[in-house]
Amino acid sequence: MQNQIKTQAEASVSAAFELATLSFSQVERLTELTLEQAKVNSELAQAQLTSVLEVKDPAAALELLKSQLDTSVKSLAGFAATAYELTQTFQAESAAFAEGHFDHAHDTANKAIHDSLSKAPEGSEAAVTAVKAAVEAGNKALAEARKNAKKTAELAQEGLAKLKEHAPKAAVKAPVRRKARA
């Protein structure tokens, strides 16, 4: 029994380190993205300041402002899209990790229950049958819950994809100007 606990503890520690490594890699990717965006922002600011110094009349200033806002919106939309994709990748990786470890733990628990039931004393057949039925019902309920969770996640992904399609279009549109009152 002690050997079984030691094995489970070692597996848990190993899983924790794997998850930590996965999390650190996500932090690293997001940090790289943030640094890259900071570089892009710096270059964009420099170009915008240079352009501002070359403005000669109000019409050119308005056109420059419109151009700079458009460029900034596109840059931020690109950053947001990349950050979203990184987050989705991490979510998929961590879900696969958790699912794999859960499946292993679930199989181990089912095996332990089955082994314990096979060593049940004589005369307890009815109880063993009831426990086996309960375990089977629990396994079916778990499988159904996982199937529903996956379907819900897929529907959420579809909804986010549709939202993402429309977001850049909405961001690029200029606000409607109101006419000045006379």
- Residue 158 pLDDT > 70: yes
For 156-160, the CB contacts below 8 A with 24+ separation are: 157/88
pLDDT in tens, 69-85: 888 888 888 888 888 88
Q: Which of 64, 57, 80 is nearest to 171 (CA)?
A: 80
Q: What does the pLDDT read at residue 167?
A: 58
- Confidence band (pLDDT; 50, 70, 90) for 177? very low
- Residue 178 pLDDT > 50: no
Query: How far, in Å, CA of 41 to CA of 109, rounded?
Result: 53
Q: For 13-42, what is the mean pLDDT? A: 88
Q: What does the pLDDT read at residue 166?
A: 66
Domain ranges of the chain: 1-98, 124-172
Range picked from 15-24, 99-108, 156-165 for highest mean pLDDT: 15-24
- Residue 154 half-sphere exposure toward CB, CA atoms < 13 A: 6
More confident residue, 42 or 109: 42
pLDDT in tens, 111-144: 878 888 888 888 888 888 888 888 888 888 878 8
Q: For 34-52, what is the mean pLDDT? A: 88
Query: How far, in Å, CA of 122 to CA of 180, rounded?
Result: 94
Average pLDDT score, the chain: 80
